[in-house]
Amino acid sequence: MTAPRFDTILITGAAGRLGTELRRGLAPLARRLRLADMAEIQDIQPNEEALTFDLSDEAAVHAAIEGVDVIVHFGGAPLERPWEDILNSNIRGSYHIYEGARKHGVTRVIYASSVHAIGYHKLQDHIDANARQRPDSFYGLSKCFVENLGQLYWDKFGIESVALRIFSSFPQPADRRMLWSWLSFDDCVRLVIAALTAPSVGCTISFGLSDNTVKPVDNRLAAHLGFHPEDNTEGYRAAVEASTAPPDPHDPTVQCLGGWFVKLGHPDDEASK
């Protein structure tokens, strides 16, 4: 029997929706999964070890990275939040991750970026990974920051990164937009595995989408990852269409990749209401 490819993988955000899937999916790749989250992680398995801390805690982040081969960084605020939260968890927190990687000799970071880093682009532009960033929210802005942080750590320090621009990863497509934006949990795991195992990635950006019928972007520039989604939304289409109103083609939330994020106001205004 072959030894697993890695000794220890650190998964941040391991208590989250996708983190839970990754625990299952990445288990065969490593002797040990080190799980990190600010929330308590349930049902620790024999191949797992768990740590609870906040990403803004630099010392805790660095301690968690010690002894790790690669990092799967899915932690941080998973959607729009007040600026200070975004700044601390996503910007400062991700800096701690990359600095920890540099200090502890980690060679590759897989990062959960998001469609919201490019949310104001339109489906009909069929952008590829070379298109300019165009965030639709402060959340998306922090994703842009971390993508560029990864680029800097590759160019300057030789640490590889793959930024996965995940569209909508949920158990099943919940609305009409997700009929094209869905990334199934299994495909999400496949994407992370491809990013972990591709021979050479430098600093790569890949879109994260299942093999849905409607294709909004061009993922050609990530073809060296070898990611091939296997799921699609056709089995859910009839139910979704029956239970939701048809889209208005003049609505920016229908035209833009970011969906309803493009109509969000400033999160601090919202929070103060």
Alpha-carbon Rg for the chain in angstroms: 18
Query: Which of 42, 200, 245, 272 is close enough to bind a copy of itself by CB under 8 A?
Result: 200
Facing residues of 30 across strands?
Answer: 6
Write each residue from 112 to 151 as x if it is in contact with a copy of itself (CB under 8 A), else as -, in one continuous string.
--------x--xx-x---xxxxxxxxx-xx--xx--xx-x
Q: Residue 42 or 124: which CB sits closer to a copy of itself?
A: 124
Query: Which of 102, 104, 174, 236 is close enough to bind a copy of itself by CB under 8 A?
Result: 102
Residues from 7 through 66 that contact a copy of itself (CB under 8 A): none
Cα 72 from chain centroid? 9
Query: Which of 50, 198, 209, 240 is close enough to bind a copy of itself by CB under 8 A?
Result: 198
Q: Does 202 bind a copy of itself (CB under 8 A)?
A: yes
Q: Closest separation between CB of residue 201 and a copy of itself, Å? A: 7
b/e for 46-61, b at 16 or more Cβ within 10 A?
eebbbbebebbbeebb
Query: CA-CA distance, 78 to 57, in Å (whole number)?
Result: 18
Q: Does 156 bind a copy of itself (CB under 8 A)?
A: yes
Query: Which of 46, 245, 249, 273 is close enough to bind a copy of itself by CB under 8 A?
Result: 249
Residue 67 DSSP code: T
Q: Residue 171 or 226: which CB sits closer to a copy of itself?
A: 226
93-103 helix and 138-157 helix, angle to the nearest 10 degrees: 20
Q: Give the contacts of 167 (CB within 8 A, at least 6 positions apart).
A: 115, 181, 182, 183, 207, 208, 209, 257
Query: CA-CA distance, 183 to 174, in Å (whole number)?
Result: 12
Is 139 marked active-site?
Answer: yes
Q: Residue 156 or 273: which CB sits closer to a copy of itself?
A: 156
Q: Residue 39 or 155: which CB sits closer to a copy of itself?
A: 155
Tokens of 127: 């952008």
Write each residue from 203 to 222 as x if it is in contact with a copy of itself (CB under 8 A), else as -, in one continuous string.
-x-------xxxxx-x-xx-
Residues annotated as catalytic are: 139
